[in-house]
Amino acid sequence: MNSDLNGNKRKKRIGFMYAFRGLRFVWISEVNFRIHVYIACSVILFGILLKITLSEWLWVGFSIGLVLSMEIINSAIETIIDYMFPHFHEVAGKAKDIAAAAVLISALLAAFIGMIIFVPKVAEYLLS
Ligand SMILES: Nc1ncnc2c1ncn2[C@@H]1O[C@H](COP(=O)(O)OP(=O)(O)OP(=O)(O)O)[C@@H](O)[C@H]1O
């Protein structure tokens, strides 16, 4: 019983290592992911400079997490499609386009949330 529990804990720790390996893989191979991380860092910097509120931080954090997660899932889908369809295939293209659409929707939502939070603050700053 006890050894089972310990075994599971060990598996969990190893699972985290696999996740970090996945993160490293996406960072190295996906330029779009790196661009999103740079944008996220800039948004966080702006948030600090413009002193956004706690609830605004929650929306910003949610948006960043959503976009990066979608980008990671998109990369996983692309990886498996590239393996299964090394040559042009209608289904491969369709699946990739659909996965890319998920990233687009999350990025549009993040941009919308970002505009609602930051545009009034930037305008106030510029007019003061
Ligand atoms: N094997 C394929 N068969 C048919 N169409 C494909 C195939 N691979 C890619 N495509 C088409 O080309 C588009 C771009 O594919 P690509 O693999 O370059 O992904 P991407 O969206 O540019 O992402 P990334 O640059 O992160 O790899 C796809 O959305 C799809 O429409």
Our measurement of the distance from residue 16's CA atom to the centroid of its chain's CA atoms, rounded to an integer in Å, reads 17
- Binding-site residues for a divalent metal cation, please? 30, 78
8-state DSSP, 86: S
Q: What is the ipTM of this complex?
A: 0.90
In a domain, 79, yes or no: yes
Residue nearest to atom 12 of ligand 1 (CA): 93
Print the domain residue range for 42: 31-127
Residue 89 one-letter amino acid:
H
- Interatomic CA distance for residues 90 and 100, integer angstroms: 15
- Mean pLDDT of the region 24-51: 97
| Spacing, Cα 96 to ligand 1 middle (Å) | 6
- Mean pLDDT of the region 83-88: 96
Chain-wide mean pLDDT for the chain? 92
- Interatomic CA distance for residues 79 and 30, integer angstroms: 11
In a domain, 25, yes or no: no
pLDDT at 11 exceeding the cut of 90: no
pLDDT of residue 1: 45
- Interatomic CA distance for residues 126 and 124, integer angstroms: 6
In a domain, 107, yes or no: yes
In a domain, 119, yes or no: yes
Q: Residue 117, Cβ neighbours under 10 Å: how many?
A: 22
Residue nearest to atom 29 of ligand 1 (CA): 97
- CA-wise closest residue to 110 among 51, 33, 36: 36
pTM, two decimal places: 0.87
pLDDT of residue 96: 98
In a domain, 17, yes or no: no
